[in-house]
Each structure stands twice: as structure tokens, then as C-alpha cells.
A and B are shown apart, each in its own frame.
Chain A
Amino acid sequence: MDEQSAAYWKRNVKLVSVLVVIWFIVSYGFGILFVDALNSIEIAGFQLGFWFAQQGSIYVFVALIFVYVAKMNKLDREFGVHEDDD
């Protein structure tokens, strides 16, 4: 693999790692592991841990994918590995 592709791949893996960590913290962290602690906070009629488990984590999942899409499209162009527009 040439240097250019190696650098592209490294950036890709780094981006995905960051997003996967957020994914994990929001669902497994807020929604499961720390749910009891967060449930002591109540906002707008929801116990916070419960809200993350049944609503918040899903909204974050959607946002994460679109962030990934935007960042990867940019990265593809930066390294000139994007697909042609037709």
C-alpha cells in the first residue's frame, strides 16, 4: 500500500474510532451502565437515563451517521479517492 492510501486509511480509522466511542458512551454508558445515576436528574418530565435508553440514543445514532457521511465525503476529496459525479 502506498503512503497516500495508508494515510487515508489511518484518517478513516481514526474518524470511525471517535464516532464509535461516542456511540458507545451514549447507548451503553448513558442508557445502561450509568442509568441509575442519570435517572436522579429529571428534565422535562423524563428521568435522564431512561430518556437516553428510549429516545436520546436513537437521535444520536442518526446524527452520528450523517456526521460520518459528511466527514468521509470530505476526506475522499482531500485524498482524491472520491467517485466521479455523473
Chain B
Amino acid sequence: MDLTTLTYIAVGLSFALYIGIAIWAKASTTGEFYVAGKGVNPVVNGMATAADWMSAASFISMAGLIAFLGYGGSVYLMGWTGGYCLLAMLLAPYLRKYGKFTVPEFIGDRYYSKAARIVAVICLIFISFTYVAGQMRGVGIVFSRFLEVEILTGLIVGMGIVFIYAVLGGMKGITYTQVAQYCVLIVAYTIPAIFIAFQLTGNPLPQLAFGSTVNGTGEFMLDRLNQVVTELGFLEYTTTSKSTIDIFAITVALMVGTAGLPHVIVRFFTVPKVRDARSSAGWALVFIALLYTTAPAVGAMARLNLTETIQTGEVGDPEGNLVFEERPDWMKRWEATGLLSFEDKNGDGRIQYYNDANAEFAAKAAEFGWQGNELKVDRDIMVLANPEIAQLPNWVIALVAAGGIAAALSTAAGLLLVISSGVSHDLLKGTFTPNMTEGQELMAGRIAAAVAILIAGYLGYNPPGFVAQVVAFAFGLAASSLFPVIIMGIFSKKVNREGAIAGMLTGLVFTMGYILAYKGVFFDPIIANTPENWLFGISPEGIGAVGMVLNFIVAFAVSKVTAEPPEHIQHMIEDIRVPKGAGGAVDH
């Protein structure tokens, strides 16, 4: 069977599964729609959280990023896993005990203020739309590469699927489809990795192969990789050009941002007990770690494979480079997408791939008769091309396509749900139209989800130029606005309404202002985005860490000089600190 047919079958079967689950898990109350009736088993919730969290970026882009960043890619590995420790120990159990439906609702209740709740909803909507645009784009790309359809067709199909299970099933439908999506994506990710690890080192476990010796040589993979890339003028794989303070700040912003992302937090509202919320965070991280400890191995192996495929002999030997006409088939296939390209600058019919931005090496390369780097590779193709590089059968490639779509759809659905509950529960029921019946609120939630899908689809089709740049926004804002007020709300009885609002606004304005100044979004950057210009040497990606610290300082300072929180709020805090007495689904 040819690849396209197989891919249609794999993707089609996965879609049929998602729709089947949606019909089985239709939500009939607001409790089921927002938090799956608080009846989800903690291990199941852990799996759903893992799929919710691992987006198209984790599945498609991360290993490729690491392949080219080397040690510098560690910020994503630690940053996107370490936040779960914060969730498990500082947030999830207390928010579960609090026991209502949304994150802004907690902030509004704890700080006895509708203004605080509305500021939180605005942060939430902004963060979630930024994210969801990237997911829909991912769906479009996978469709166009593997199913050879227009990006628009791919998007509409993806939107249709999410529409069915998110609008009908709400959180309940999403939870169980996410479990199925996790299974699809983890199998699709690990199978090619295991084969490549085995081919390269003889050890099938990527996590161990990463530190094993390369077949046919006595050299450890990472030592060999360091040697191969430095011979071509690139930076040693296990080092980075970023400063230590920047690496530190970016990791903080990503970790804390993860713990402050509403679509992740809300997953812990769905389990029956406080102790389930704790263990569920652990299970989520187990399932995430399966992919996140495989990804750096995939990155290193891909970099080594790519470099050695092109540099077949000694660097500088006129016959040491791959002859263009003899390039492998997978390169030809990816050239068609434009994500891989080759230009024979010195007309020798061979491909030279090296770091021509390194002046010292470029001079040496000129002596070999090389006239510039001739290969351009988009980082995003590394994972998708993996099964082809390893010459795995077509069904594996089809599975990877289904996995990429599963990763994107599961995250998109989780985001759309928090947007819809932010609108129907926090803005409408909680603020503007408190007299709604439950049926009306449920309908409002469904309409909000449907509208959000349309906007997300539009953003995926016409990604505004700034989508790639605003990812820093999502984490920076979550880290500097939502995370500190939630933590203070639980661990301090002194922080009051005035402090929380002042803190959130300070974190928000500072972080947004900094990112806008260096990145520009609707206008040209005000200051050039180079390390010399950065505050303390911290890039816009890491500035959320500073925004978070400012938020804490301002909140404590303002609370100190204004009235203490009222008595009943102090009781509420005491109550959420002990597990006993957590109720099941709360309909209100």
C-alpha cells in the first residue's frame, strides 16, 4: 500500500476513535462540561494532562530545536517538566480542595474582587489564544505534508473534529479523547526513536543509546558528535553560546509559566480527591517524561545522522562530501516541501554543510574551495523525517503523522475549553449575567467553544506575523501574572485584594512592555534584540522570571500598607490547606 493511503487510514482511524469517545462521553451538566464531574481517575487524568500539555511544539519541533541548540536546548527539557513539581506541591492539591471550576474564579474568590477575576480572565484568554494558533498551524502542516491536501482543508477537518468532541463532550469528552491521543502520540514518537537508537548504537533504549558507543567505532555518541560538529565550525554540542544568567532565567520562566498555565491547572480540578490531585501530577510527569527523556536522544542522533550523511569523509577532502545526485530519497521528498534545500555554490556537485557564520572556520573552508554553506534544513522536519531517515516501513511514517495531529488536537481542545469556561463561567455567569440558569450557561459554554474554534482556525490559516514571537508572551504572562497570585493566595494569609491586583498588573505590564520593546509585535522593536541591550543580560524569553519576582515584591509591599483580608477569607485559606472535606462535583 502506498504511503498516502496508509496515512489516510491511520489518521482516519484515530479520528473515528476520537469521535466515538465524544459520543460516549457527552456532557450534560456544567460540572461535566467544565471539570468532567470531578470523577476522573488520577492515572487517567495524568495521561490526559500529558496529552493536554504536549503540543505540536513538543512533538514536532522540540527534538529538532535541541538537535541544533545542543546543551542550549536543555531550557525546554527542564523548563517544560520542572513546573510539574511546583504544580504538585504548591498548587494542584489546594486548588482541588477549593473545588470550583476555573482559575479566575479562585483568584476572584480569594481576593474578594471581581476586578481581580476579570484581570485573570483577560490573561487567560490572551495566553490561550496565543497557544492555540500554533496548534492549528501544526495540524495544517502535518496534513499538507502527509496527506497532500491544502493547509486550509487540513485545518477545516481538524477544526471539525475538535468541534465535535469539545463542544459536545466538554471537559469529559476532552479528557477521554486526550487519553487516546496520548497513546497515539507516544507510540508514534518512541517507535522511530527506538529503531534509530538500535541502528546507531545497538542499544534500543534511546535514553541509554544517548550515552552509548556508536556502532563500528569505540566512541561515545556525544564525544563523536562534539568532534564532528566542531570540525565543521559549529559550537560543541554539549555547550551553548547563551549566558548562564539567560539560561537560568528562561528555565525559570518556562517552569513557572508551565505551573501557571490555566489549561494545565484546570486538569487537576477533574479528579475526585485532594490526594488524587497530588498523585495525578506525578503520573502526568511520568507520561511526559517518556517523551521528554527520549527527545534529547532523538535530537542528538538526528544531528549526528544528518552531519555524517553529508560529510561522508574527511573535512577538506575534495571527495569527503555527499554527491548531490546520490543523496538519499528522504532528502528528495522533503525538498518538495521547501523545508530542506540545497544550493551548489561552488559548483562541485557535492553538498557542503558547515558553519559559515564562524569567520575563522569560513576562512579555512575557503581554502578547501567551499564557498558557503549549501544546505538549509528547517528544524521542524527532524522528527517527521526520522522514520524515513531510519528507512522504517511506511506504516510507521503514517503513525507519526497521526501522532503529530494527536499532539496538536489534544492541546488545542484543552485550550479551547479554558477559553470557553473563562467566557461562560467567569465573564457571563460570574460577572455580567449572574441570573443565568445552568442550561443557559452550558449553552453559552458550547457557543463560546465553537466561536473560539473558528477564531483559532482563522489564526492558524492566517498566522499573524507575530505568532512565533508571542510564544514568549504566553509563558512570560503566565509566570508573571497568574502563578504568583495563586501561590500567595494559598501560602499567605496577609496578601489582600489591593496587593494581588497591584502585583498582577505590575508583572503583566513589566513583562509585556519588555517583550514588546525588544520584539515589537504590531510595530518595529524599539530596542535592538541583542544581548548587550538586555536588562541583566536576560532575553525576552526569560523576562517572565523577573516579572514574577516584581509581582511578589509589589503584592507583599502593597498588602503591608493596606487593610488585611477579611475574616471569612482567612477561614477560606485555612480550609483549602487541609484535604479533609473536599466535595465531589459542585454545581452552583
Tell me the A residues contacting B by CB distance below 8 Å: 1, 5, 8-9, 12-13, 16, 19-20, 23, 27-28, 31-33, 35, 39, 44-47, 50-51, 53-55, 57-59, 61-62, 64-66, 68-69, 72-73, 76, 80-83
Contact = CB atoms under 8 A, between A and B. Distances in A.
B293 A59 contact: yes
Which of B74, B207, B286, B579 has the most C-beta atoms of chain A within 10 angstroms of its own C-beta?
Answer: B74
Interface in B75-93: 77-78, 81-82, 84-85, 88-90, 93
B577 interface: yes
Contacts of B141: none
Interface in B529-588: 574, 577-582
A1 B248 contact: no
Residue in A16, A47, A61 whose Cβ sees the most chain B Cβ within 10 Å: A61
Interface in B241-289: 244, 247-248, 251, 273-275, 278-279, 281-282, 285-286, 289
B82 A55 contact: no
Q: Is the interface of B mostly helix, strand, loop or mixed?
A: helix
A9 to B, nearest CB: 6
B296 interface: yes
A54 B581 CA distance: 40
Nearest to B90: A16
13 contacts: A5-B578, A12-B577, A31-B74, A32-B247, A45-B221, A47-B238, A54-B71, A54-B73, A55-B207, A58-B77, A69-B275, A72-B278, A83-B579
B222 A47 contact: yes
Chain B, interface size category, equals 35 or more
Contacts of B71: 35, 50, 53-54
A74 to B, nearest CB: 11
Contacts of B293: 55, 58-59
A50 B74 CA distance: 8
Max chain B Cβ within 10 angstroms of own Cβ: one of A33, A80, A82, A83:
A83
User: What are the 5 closest A-B residue pairs judged by CB atoms, nearest first?
Assistant: A45-B211, A45-B220, A53-B74, A65-B282, A54-B296
A64 B82 CA distance: 10
B282 A9 contact: no
A13 to B, nearest CB: 8
